[in-house]
Structure 1
Amino acid sequence: MPDISLYALLDAGTLGADRLPTFARLAAENGATILQYRDKTGTTRQMVERALAIREAIAGLQVPLLVNDRVDVALASNADGVHLGRDDLEPGEARRILGPGAIIGLTVKNEADAEVSAAAPVDYACIGGVFETLSKKNPDPPVGLEGLGTLRAKLRDARPDLPVGAIAGIDLARVPGVIAAGADGVAVISAIFKASDPAQATRALRAAVDAAKGSRAR
């Protein structure tokens, strides 16, 4: 199962496509355990080229790169996997196309999504949005810490070994509460890439996640 302790989202619309490789390297060098490339406006060709550039930037760092939504881009760029939403390709079909070694993640926004994730051939789930966020338009209301805990418990009952992350509006101060509610990791954009010192922000987030998980284990 993938380590989703610190899941860094490389959003082309937020960060600028030309800066993605630099940001990817910075995050991977400073504690991010998995990266996701998200691009809602790029053409297929642009997305493949950008994914390839990110892969080249993080070569040798042993941090997986996933592509948001687009199984075709993940396949063409030889990314490590894909993250799927409720309106994307069905996880079983994505598994058939990408193969048994690919990392496949799924968004969970409600109990119906949790049931799908529990039965699907996925390697992790990501619950959210937990809090409000400005990085993405989200028609669904935030689930909050209580909703996070409820959905996490449902997934744990069905698949105890499935890593579950949390996304949306998470900053350093919110990490302990999110991990205490049951998350195995946090997915962030602004908390790293909008910080005045992104490298230090990455290290601080990773340390906070590790400390919170350690406290939970005791």
Structure 2
Amino acid sequence: MAPLGRLHIITDSRHGRDALGATAAALAAGAPVVQVRVADETTDRLAYEFAAQVRRLTIEHGATCLVNDRLQVALAVGADGGHVGADDLPVAAARRVLGPAAVLGATCRDAASARAAVADGASYLGVGPAYTTATKAGLPAALGPAGVGAVAAAVPGTPVIAIAGVTAARVGELRAAGAYGVAVIGAVSEAADPAAATKELLAAVTP
């Protein structure tokens, strides 16, 4: 398995957003990983069609393509892997679905769940919310860099990707705390120039 990129662009499923356009701009600017996320109410057919478009773009740019939650869509479009949250398939089951070679991310926010996810086959952990964010409702309290670092310390050798409320200005403190990389939505999708925002994030997250 190739090394995991340190910047993950998550597609913005909110109404009125040009998710594909922002993703294309981010990939052209060098984004190494795209996570396809669609709204819960999106049908599998529409999710597949969107993910297939993103997959074609990631192939064109040599980037990693992951699909959040809907592992059947990940398999159908030939994605590099998937990501599961607390309400999705358990990590061990997701690993069986995707196979041993796929990239598999799991959402965690504490040391115990992080260790369990790694033991069950997670390739990396998405840890958050790192900060308060408006891009997803119903999230628990923000962990802050210290909380993200505590999870990273519990699973040495496993990449921890900090998510939620991440901006280029905040990347440094997250990396210093122990995060391997970051995942963003609004920092790119809400930017006036998504490509420029991606380049700024890449510069911040690169060792």
The answer to whether the Cα contact below 8 Å between 1:172 and 1:205 also exists between their aligned partners in 2 is: yes
Question: Given the two structures, how large is their TM-score scaled by the length of structure 1?
Answer: 0.88
CA RMSD of aligned residues (A): 1.6
SS of 2:89's equivalent in the other structure is coil
1:176 counterpart (167, 172, 176): 172
- Residue of structure 1 in register with 2:38 after alignment: 39
Letter of the 2:5 counterpart: I
Q: For residue 26 of structure 2, what is the aligned residue in structure 1?
A: 27
- After superposition, the C-alpha distances for 1:85-128 in whole angstroms (9 at most, x for unaligned) are 12211222222222222111001112332122231211111110
Q: 1:143 to 1:96 in 2, by over 3 A?
A: same
1:1-218 map, 5 Å? 2-13=3-14, 16=17, 19-40=18-39, 41-156=41-156, 160=157, 162-210=158-206, 213=207
**2:203 aligned partner, one-letter code:** A
- Provide the C-alpha distance between the structure 2 equivalents of 1:146 and 1:81, rounded to a whole number of angstroms: 29
Q: How many residues align?
A: 205
Q: TM-score, normalised by structure 2?
A: 0.92
Task: Single out whichever of 131-140 and 93-102 deviates more from structure 2.
Answer: 93-102
Going from structure 1 to structure 2, the CA distance change for 1:126 and 1:24 (only over 3 Å counts) comes to same
CA shift for structure 1 position 140: 1.3
What is the rounded CA distance, in whole Å, between the counterparts of 1:93 and 1:117 in structure 2? 11
Return 5+ residue gaps in structure 2 as ranges.
Answer: none
C-alpha distance in 2, partners of 1:69/1:86?
Answer: 10
Tell me how far apart the structure 2 counterparts of residues 199 and 57 of structure 1 sit (CA, whole Å).
15
Identity %: 39
8 Å contact 1:185–1:209 — kept in the other structure? Answer: yes
What SS class does the counterpart of residue 186 from structure 1 fall into? Answer: strand
SS in 1 for 2:11: strand
C-alpha distance in structure 2 between counterparts of 1:150 and 1:124, whole Å? 15
Distance 1:153 1:168 in 2: 20
Looking at structure 2, the residues matched to 206 and 14 of structure 1 have their Cα atoms a distance apart, in angstroms, of 27
Relative to total residues, which structure has the larger helix share, 1 or 2? 1
* Closer/same/farther in 2, CA of residues 176 and 14 from structure 1, 3 Å limit: farther
**Equivalent pair of 2:188/2:197 in contact (CA under 8 Å):** yes
Query: What one-letter code is carried by the residue in structure 2 that aligns with 1:155?
Result: V
Q: Is the 8 A contact 2:6 2:181 kept in 1?
A: yes
- The whole-number CA distance in structure 1 between the counterparts of 2:131 and 2:125 is 17
- Equivalent pair of 1:38/1:68 in contact (CA under 8 Å): yes
Q: Is the 8 A contact 1:4 1:186 kept in 2?
A: no
Contact 1:20/1:54 (<8 A) preserved: no
- Give the superposition deviation at 1:150: 1.1
How many Å apart are 1:77 and its aligned residue?
A: 1.8
Q: 1:5 Cα shift?
A: 0.9
Q: Aligned AA for 1:143?
A: L
Of 101-110 and 20-29, the range deviating more from structure 2: 20-29
